[in-house]
C-alpha cells in the first residue's frame, strides 16, 4: 500500500476528490495516512475527521519559527510513513529545506496551464489577459513557486461571459479529475523497482 498525506488550508474539495478516488480504487493500493492543515478551522480538516482519517491541525502561530512549524509537519509525515505528499490548497510556501527532504515526493495542483500564471489568482489573471483557454496543472513541487515539472494538465475553454467565479468552478471540476490521475502516474513511477546491477547483489554463502 502506498501511503498518501494531504496538506490543505481551506475548503478541501481536492482532498475529497483524492479521498473518493482512494476509496473507489481509482487510485489503487493506496491509503491516506495523514491530513494536515495550518488552519485549525479548515473545512477540509473537518471533512477528513468525518471520513475517519487522521487529521492534524498544525497552526503556524503555535510555533516560534517557520522552521519549527515545518519540522512538526515533517515529523507527522515521517511518523505516518508517508510515500507521497499532496498539496491541495495548502496556502503556505514550503521552504527549500523542507522540499529537499521529499525529492519528487510532493505534488501540487494549480489552477492554470503552467508555466502561465504562477502564484495567486491565476484564473482572474487568465481572464484579464483575454485567454481563450485556461485549465489546471498538477506538478512536482521543487524549490520555486509553481515551477516544478508538470505531471499533467487539463484544459478548460474560457467562455465569453465567464467571471472569475464561473471559470474557477469549471477549472475546479477538472482539478478533481486531474489530481487522482496524476497521483496514479506518480505512484507508478515511485513503484518502479530500484535498478540494482546484478554484480552488486549481495549473496550470502551457506
Q: How far is the CB of 191 from ligand GRF (least distance, A)?
A: 26
Quick check: is 69 catalytic?
A: no
Among 34, 36, 89, 148, binds ligand GRF (CB under 6 A): 89
Which position among 69, 110, 139, 176 bears the catalytic label? 110
Question: Is position 110 an interface residue for ligand GRF (rule: CB under 6 A)?
Answer: yes
- Residue 26 Cα distances to 3, 97, 180, angstroms: 15, 33, 7
**Cα–chain-centroid distance for residue 48?**
15
Helix (H, G, I), strand (E, B) or coil at 195: coil
Among 4, 6, 14, 156, binds ligand GRF (CB under 6 A): 14
The crossing angle, in degrees rounded to 10, of helices 43-50 and 13-24 is 20
**C-alpha cell of 48?**
477528513
User: Which residue has the CB atom at the shortest distance from ligand GRF?
Assistant: 89
The per-residue b/e assignment along 179-192, b for 16 or more CB within 10 angstroms, e otherwise, is bbbbbeebbeeeee
Task: Give CA separation, 110 vs 11, 52, 71, 124, 136, in Å.
Answer: 15, 27, 25, 13, 6
Considering only 4, 6, 12, 182, the residue that binds ligand GRF (CB under 6 A) is 12
Cβ of residue 167: shortest distance to ligand GRF, in angstroms? 11
Q: Which stretch binds ligand GRF (CB under 6 A): 5-13, 20-28, 97-105, 194-202?
A: 5-13
Name the nearest CA neighbour of 17 among 3, 38, 32, 29.
Answer: 32
Query: In the complex with ligand GRF, which residue's Cβ is closer, 111 or 148?
Result: 111
Binding status of residue 135 toward ligand GRF by CB under 6 A? no
State which residue, 89 or 148, has the beta carbon closest to ligand GRF. Answer: 89
Give the footprint of ligand GRF on this chain (CB under 6 A): 8, 10-14, 44, 88-89, 109-111, 172, 175
Amino acid at each position: 500500500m502506498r501511503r498518501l498525506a494531504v496538506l490543505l488550508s481551506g475548503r478541501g474539495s481536492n482532498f475529497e476528490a483524492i479521498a473518493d478516488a482512494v476509496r473507489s480504487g481509482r487510485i489503487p493500493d493506496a491509503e491516506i495516512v495523514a491530513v494536515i492543515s495550518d488552519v485549525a478551522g479548515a473545512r477540509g480538516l473537518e471533512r477528513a475527521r468525518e471520513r475517519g482519517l487522521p487529521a492534524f491541525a498544525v497552526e503556524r502561530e503555535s510555533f516560534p519559527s517557520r522552521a519549527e512549524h515545518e519540522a512538526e509537519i515533517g515529523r507527522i509525515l515521517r511518523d505516518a510513513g508517508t510515500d507521497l505528499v499532496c498539496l491541495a490548497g495548502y496556502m503556505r510556501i514550503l521552504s527549500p529545506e523542507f522540499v529537499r527532504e521529499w525529492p519528487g515526493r510532493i505534488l501540487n495542483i494549480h489552477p492554470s496551464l503552467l508555466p502561465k500564471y504562477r502564484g495567486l489568482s491565476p484564473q482572474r489573471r487568465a481572464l484579464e489577459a483575454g485567454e481563450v483557454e485556461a485549465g489546471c496543472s498538477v506538478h512536482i513541487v521543487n524549490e520555486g513557486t509553481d515551477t516544478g515539472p508538470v505531471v499533467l494538465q487539463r484544459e478548460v475553454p474560457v467562455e465569453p461571459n465567464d467571471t472569475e467565479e464561473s471559470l474557477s468552478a469549471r477549472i475546479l471540476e477538472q482539478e478533481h479529475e486531474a489530481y487522482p490521475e496524476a497521483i496514479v502516474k506518480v505512484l507508478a513511477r515511485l513503484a518502479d523497482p530500484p535498478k540494482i546491477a546484478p554484480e552488486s547483489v549481495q549473496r550470502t554463502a551457506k
